[in-house]
A and B are shown apart, each in its own frame.
Chain A
Amino acid sequence: MIMIAYYVITAFVLVLLGWNFVRETKRRDDLVLYLLVMIPLVLRLLRWK
């Protein structure tokens, strides 16, 4: 049950980061940072790592 909650939280944070990535228009370094932060979250949601 706790594990499911953590997957939901991961998905939520991923959506937030993705939304920020889409909305960001000026700072290119922020775009890179958003994607870097997303890597472990995506790997966990895909159940790869």
Chain B
Amino acid sequence: MKKDTLFKAALAGAFIGLVVWGGLPLFRHRHHGVPIVKGPGVTAVLRLSEFSPGLKGTAGDTYVFVLQGKEPGGKALIMGNTHSNEPEGMLAALIFIENAVVEKGSLYVIPFFNNSGSRNTRPGDGYPLYFDVPTDWGSRRFRFGNRDASPLDQWPDPDVYIHYPDRQLLSFIDVRNTNRTWPGRPDGPLMERVTFGAMELMRREKIDVAVDIHGAETMFPVTNCIVAPEKSVKIATLASLTVKAMEGFENHVEASPAGFRGLSHREIGDHGPAMPFLLEAPIPFLDQPTGPKTVKFLLDGKDPFLLSLSRKKKLFVPYDESGWPLEKRVGQNLSVTLEIFRQFSKKTADRPIALRGVPRYADVVKNGVGRFLADPSKAAAGAVVVN
């Protein structure tokens, strides 16, 4: 009897040890704060719950940085981390927040659009919990999240996600995917409340241009492109042609399918005044037939299996020994976004969006992403927002 009790106690102890050993890193990752330095152009910091009250006090609530120009003009919204395992969007958004000075018009930036997703991970794929971007003064650490919101914040998943308002049947997992829950509703599942908040922001603030920045697999046809619906396609095409001619990189245009519901590039334009653009930079880390999902691979995009597939012409982007590094991905996101603003301003002269201080593709490729990230420890008091 005593022997049995001892065995049970040892077993229970091992169980508690296993839970703490496995669970504590996940708990720490979920609560890890990422500092964001308010750059010289930031004039206000809002919460998305101001536009969607159902988000207040939830992990879906997130920061909205406002960069108001000195002169009136058009208004633009930039969203990063719609999918939190595509960090080139979040990093591009951070570079805007920490460097941009708006001269005409206004810029709204949401760096962690799916805030819950940035606190989630994918242990089955061996995802790292964090990644560090080297800078001139050290490195900046970021949470590496997942494509979908954490089930801790939105649970359970339905058998099938019925999109609102079109009632199209989508995969059950898409109920936690903020690029399937547009345009959202104020009292729907948490991720619908997130997208509803962004829609309300765009409607109330009369946003002209909305840029949702993503990354996509090299084996996925919709990669290295700007996805645009009918109302945005002219500006997207001009931006694509201009970056190719002036900056020497390819970024073709894909038409937003009208029959596939819930995506930002479709619903933002159909349910509000803004012209939507979805940017996809190739991120080899997301491809399936690769080596281990390490931080190094995330940053340099080099993988021998993808190289082999590239030689067999199985990829949708050029791929060689140089991989597809973070600098290229973030750099092209920045240049394409700036070019979209420029083309919009040319087309709509009474609502210009003009800003300075944001590096373009060549600058980022040459100097690295870290060169354009501020040091939070040297920021002035009150200039750091921790997300």
Binding site for B on A (CB under 8 A): 2-3, 6, 21-22, 25, 28, 31-32, 35, 38-39, 42-44, 46-49
> When the two chains form the complex, which single residue of B8, B14, B23, B155 contacts A43, counting CB atoms closer than 8 Å?
B23
Interface size on B, residues (CB 8 A): 19
Given A2-B156, A3-B156, CB of A31 within 8 Å of CB of B23? no
- Contact check, A46 vs B23: say whether CB atoms are below 8 A apart: yes
Interface residue? B12 (CB, 8 A): yes
Cβ contacts under 8 Å, B12 to chain A: 21, 35
Q: How far is the CB of A35 from chain B (nearest CB, A)?
A: 4
Q: How far is the CA of A14 from the CA of B315 in the complex (A)?
A: 47
Binding site of B, secondary structure by majority: helix, strand, loop or mixed?
A: helix
Q: Is the CB of B8 within 8 A of A47?
A: no
Query: B: which residues have CB within 8 A of A?
Result: 4, 7-8, 11-12, 14-15, 18-19, 22-24, 26-27, 30, 152, 154-156
Given contacts A35-B12, A48-B27, whether A43 and B19 have CB atoms under 8 Å apart is yes
Looking across the interface, which residue of chain B has its beta carbon closest to that of A4? B155
* Interfacial chain A residues near B155, Cβ < 8 Å: 3, 6
A39 B11 Cβ-Cβ under 8 A: no
26 A-B pairs with C-beta separation under 8 A: A2-B156, A3-B154, A6-B156, A21-B8, A21-B12, A22-B8, A28-B7, A31-B7, A31-B11, A32-B11, A35-B12, A35-B14, A35-B15, A38-B15, A39-B15, A39-B19, A39-B22, A42-B19, A43-B26, A44-B152, A46-B23, A48-B23, A48-B24, A48-B30, A49-B23, A49-B26
